[in-house]
Amino acid sequence: MKILFIGDVIGEPGRRCLASWLPRIKQEHQPTFILVNAENAAGGFGLTPEIAQELFKLGADVLTSGNHIWDKKQIYGFLDKEARLLRPANYPDAVPGKGWGVFEVTAGGPKLGVINLEGRVYMHTLRDPFTLARELIQTIKVQTPLILVDFHAEVTSEKRALGWYLDGLATAVIGTHTHVQTADEEILPQGTAYLTDAGMTGGRNSVIGIEKEEALHRFLTQMPTRFTPAPDRPWLNGVIIEADPATGRATGIQRLQCS
Ligand SMILES: [Fe+2]
């Protein structure tokens, strides 16, 4: 059983890159589940219902997100309607949407629990993602041992710490948000596949997916700057996790960088 996880899709260039690579990746790896972090898929910030539908049509089974999910207001109502789109689970209950779900792509096939969490270091002051992750895993375990956590966080230490905290409890802990793929993929001793950051899907001639001149303008002047997704040298970043559906333990992890 394979889970394909694709790192943050940045705007139209990222969506085009995903559309061109996904059929080839599917053919080669035959993933059972396809997960895409989509928080920046609309213009580089946020997501719209139309673009979420476009990503489902391309082959995504579940969309995860992060702090930018709130950038486009039209997604709020959609978050309440569409169970396949997740926002981080550690926001207050009053916000739209849900932070986890159990998904079955083929009738009678394996079920995958997906948990989306946001870090707290240099980010929002949210509910403790560590304690909540273990609580949600206990809830999901009744339905399936296969559980993937998308931990949308800024610092490597917080992501690494959650990996250890969930070793043997989750099938995989995959980091997102920093848009630079890390090379530390491994299977932790108790069977959890771990990667600090899956990277991004978008233009490589950029600063984390945004036109480099605009990012530099912000750094050089400290003035507000309009950011646009960069189209040049697109690449798809992601990771493939192999797991035993009977135990939920990971048996393989492989990073993907397609350009
Ligand atoms: Fe983010």
* pLDDT the model gives residue 106: 86
Q: What is the DSSP letter of 59?
A: T
pLDDT at 125: 85
Percent of the chain with pLDDT over 90: 97
Rounded Cα distance, 227 and 216, in Å: 11
Q: At what angle do helices 11-29 and 49-58 cross, to 10 degrees?
A: 20
CA 104 – ligand 1 centroid, Å: 27
Q: Which residues are catalytic?
A: 68
Gap between the Cα atoms of 73 and 60, Å rounded:
22
Average pLDDT over residues 13-40: 98
Distance from Cα 40 to the centre of ligand 1, integer Å: 8
Predicted confidence at residue 86, as pLDDT, reads 98
Residue 235, classed as helix, strand or coil, is strand
What CATH number does residue 16 fall under? Answer: 3.60.21.10
pTM of the model: 0.97
Going from the Cα of 89 to the center of ligand 1, the distance in angstroms, rounded, reads 14
User: Is pLDDT above 90 for 107?
Assistant: no
Per-residue pLDDT, 195: 98
Q: What is the pLDDT of residue 156?
A: 98
Looking at the 3D structure of the chain, how many domains does it have?
1
Distance 218 CA to ligand 1 centre (A): 18
Round the average pLDDT of the chain to a whole number and report it: 97
At residue 69, the pLDDT reads 97
pLDDT in tens, 109-128: 999 999 999 999 999 889 99
In this prediction, residue 105 carries a pLDDT of 87
**Domain residues for 62?**
2-258
| pLDDT tens per residue, range 136-156 | 999 999 999 999 999 999 999
Residue-wise pLDDT for 92-101, tens only, equals 999 999 999 9
